[in-house]
Amino acid sequence: MDRKKIRFGIQAAATLIQNANFKGFFTGRIYEGASKSVCVPGLNCYSCPGAVGSCPIGSLQSFLSGVKFKFPYYVVGLLIFFGAVLGRAVCGFLCPFGFLQDLIYKIPFYKKNKFAIDKILRYLKYAVLLILVIILPMTFNLTPFFCKYVCPQGTLAGIMLAAADEKVRTVLGPLFNWKLILLLIFIVTGLIVRRPFCKYVCPLGAIYGFFNKIALYRMTCDKSKCINCKACAKACQMNVDPSKTPNSMECIRCGECLDKCPTGALHMGFGKSKVKAESKAVQGRMK
């Protein structure tokens, strides 16, 4: 089984399905069908001309920044559902912008994933979630701060709309230029560091990360098989040591560590883990 090819296929399919309004890329018109009332699991801008669903972060801010406050039961419920089932596997398999970052990282360039302030920068996405997605939208009506001032996926949507519609190009101004600079920063750093936006900025990844320890889709490490060679840690581009913290909040479940483990100590999947099953079998033989 070629795990990388399977994952690539799932990522590509998920991106196409979430942006199945292909006509919109040529007309510059945003799809407004019934499916637009449903949130997709990954970060995919509502205003993307191909989008057939809503972004959960954008929807969350829409509820919180309304003229009258409404608790976003529907959006929160979906986030809990996706998180409880998949955790950050959503980031690794179903997020269009995550897929784009993986493609950028494949471009031959100088690579450096480990550096001094990496661990400190990881906390930034929680600050973005708390301040830009929750506190400020609740404070200022009709202002989705993260979408308006930061989201690179939204910038891509703006570029595609402008490319297809001359009227859109005429209204682009300083704010769009600011977001374009941010997008370029994420693209350039994405050549060097794998998924910099996911690691340091994405509020959706921050939310799903909270579920990694309890999600149905999870990783386990059989300590009886682990030889502490750290091959899994060296393979992880998210800077996680799966032998110590297989369900780290940073793990996107890409599975690259499983391919590098020489003893098959790592397992990832739904339900009862292979490790527990093998442990019970050994206990049974001992009796």
Could you report the per-residue pLDDT of 81-91, keeping only the tens digit for each? 999 999 999 99
pLDDT of residue 281: 42
Question: Which tokens is 69 given?
Answer: 């406050």
Please check the confidence at residue 164 and state whether its pLDDT lies above 80. yes
pTM of the model: 0.91
Q: How many residues does the chain have?
A: 287
pLDDT of residue 192: 96
pLDDT of residue 272: 55
pLDDT of residue 113: 86
Please check the confidence at residue 280 and state whether its pLDDT lies above 60. no
pLDDT of residue 22: 96
pLDDT of residue 271: 67
Measure the CA–CA gap between 96 and 268, rounded to whole angstroms.
22
Rg of the chain over all Cα atoms, to the nearest angstrom = 20
Conformation bin of residue 267: beta by default, left when phi > 0, alpha when psi is -120 to 50: beta
Could you report the per-residue pLDDT of 104-129, keeping only the tens digit for each? 999 999 999 888 899 999 999 999 99
C-alpha angle 38/42/44, rounded to 5°?
75
Neighbours of 35 (CB within 10 A): 15
Calculate the average pLDDT of the chain: 92
Amino acid identity, position 259: D
